[in-house]
Structure 1
Amino acid sequence: MEWFDQLRALPGVLYAMALGGAIGYERELRNRPAGFRTHMLVAGTAALLLGLSRMVLEDGQYGGAGLQIDPLRLVEAVVAGVSFIGAGTIFASRGGESVQGITTAASLLAVAAIGITVGFRYHVLALAITVLTLLVLTVLSWVERRARDRATTPGD
């Protein structure tokens, strides 16, 4: 495979990184354990792995060898790797009264799914999922804060 052909996966990786970066930026603004760069790398790597598998299948060097790649196995591998990273973002407070980082772990899984979606070339769906994820992280956080404030404010 010529070097120029190898660059075909690069726009998808860049697009996935941009989408993951948008979510990571929100996490960064909230000073969470995994932020801008981490989310970009997770989304980009997921897109790269799926794009690479597609390129290998299309490469004449491997085509005659009966090579088969199950894309769902690649998805499982990405999810397993991201789950490991996500687990590192979850911290229990002393005394075990609260757990922090679960939303960030979930956002890492979301950007991995966005990267996978880009890797499968479903770009519009990836953008829609990015917008929905940002809405969950921002709007629902605001709703939770307001509900909490109302619950702790002495009654009128």
Structure 2
Amino acid sequence: MKYCVQKEGANMVESELFSTILRLTLALAAGGLVGLERSFHGRPAGFREHTLVCISACMLMLLADYHVLRAAAAGHSDAFLDPTRMAQGIMTGIGFLGAGAIVKEGFAIRGLTTAASIWMIAAIGIMIGMGYYVAAGAATFATFNINYVFRLIEGRMNLESYAHFHVRFARGEAPSERDLRVILADCGCEPSGISYGLVGEGRWFEYQSLIKTLGKENLNKLADRLSANPYVIEFGIAPRGD
């Protein structure tokens, strides 16, 4: 009887060890795959960050999962242990990490996709840690395709682009708002709410607006048009990032 108990305990330890190594390996593969795509595109959170997040989420869920099993094996069946609380804590903490990947560069906001990717890879790590391999595999495949394949699709689509626009002319040489709208229209750009006024202690006349266009090449066309205008003192076109 004693031999049977020892053998059963050894089998349980061996099974737990195999399951732990398998889950951590899958978490390494999932985080590495998604992270490589982010690193390839020069994002602030790439291969190492995604891999660490996925493995750490997996380890914490292994802790919660095996804690429940060990408590049941020890005869504490009346104890209430909820592994989902660990998942809630993980996702809350990852939210702060994702927020650090979001940066504002002028009028552009970048890092939203990377932040969402970090949040997603944490969820994948949680699923691997709990042993939901099919769901984790499907989520990894979907995340990789969303980050990589969808980027290629977006590159072929004629999407609306927005940019913050300002241009300065010498005082007394600025075109009228109607003439400026004609210049923008010729370049395929549509302004929204043009504002204007004197700047630089009254030396320059400045127009500001949020412009919309189909195709970012129109912004290059507008820049060339303004560069060739001898009355333009200064201009800026700042595309809005995502």
TM-score range (shorter-chain normalised) is 0.7 to 0.9
Q: What is the CA–CA distance in structure 2 between the aligned matches of 1:146 and 1:101, rounded to whole Å?
A: 21
- Give how far 1:62 is off: 5.9
Matched, 1:111 2:121: yes
Matched, 1:151 2:215: yes
- Give how far 1:145 is off: 1.8
TM normalised by structure 2 equals 0.57
Higher helix share: 1
Q: What is the CA–CA distance in structure 2 between the aligned matches of 1:62 and 1:88, rounded to whole Å?
A: 42
The letter for the 1-side match of 2:104 is A
Structure 1 residue corresponding to 2:133, chosen from 123, 134, 139: 123
- Give how far 1:108 is off: 0.4
Q: What is the CA–CA distance in structure 2 between the aligned matches of 1:91 and 1:74, rounded to whole Å?
A: 29
Q: Residues 129 and 62 of structure 1: is their aligned pair in 2 closer, same or farther, counting only changes over 3 Å? A: same
Q: What is the CA–CA distance in structure 2 between the aligned matches of 1:125 and 1:86, rounded to whole Å?
A: 23
Query: RMSD between aligned alpha carbons?
Result: 2.3
Aligned to 1:31: 42
Matched, 1:73 2:85: yes
Aligned to 1:51: 62
Aligned to 1:88: 100
Q: Whose Rg is larger?
A: 2
- Contact 1:17/1:40 (CA < 8 Å) preserved in 2? yes
TM normalised by structure 1 equals 0.85
The letter for the 2-side match of 1:101 is G
Q: Residues 153 and 32 of structure 1: is their aligned pair in 2 closer, same or farther, counting only changes over 3 Å? A: closer
Aligned to 1:136: 146
Q: Could you list the runs of 5+ residues in structure 1 that have no partner in the other structure?
A: none
Structure 2 residue corresponding to 1:42, chosen from 49, 53, 57: 53
Higher strand share: 2
Q: What is the CA–CA distance in structure 1 between the aligned matches of 2:30 and 2:85, rounded to whole Å?
A: 23
Q: What is the CA–CA distance in structure 1 between the aligned matches of 2:57 and 2:120, rounded to whole Å?
A: 11
Q: Could you list the runs of 5+ residues in structure 2 that have no partner in the other structure?
A: 1-8, 160-213, 219-242
Q: Residues 121 and 6 of structure 1: is their aligned pair in 2 closer, same or farther, counting only changes over 3 Å? A: closer
- Give how far 1:72 is off: 2.0
- Give how far 1:69 is off: 2.3
The letter for the 2-side match of 1:124 is V
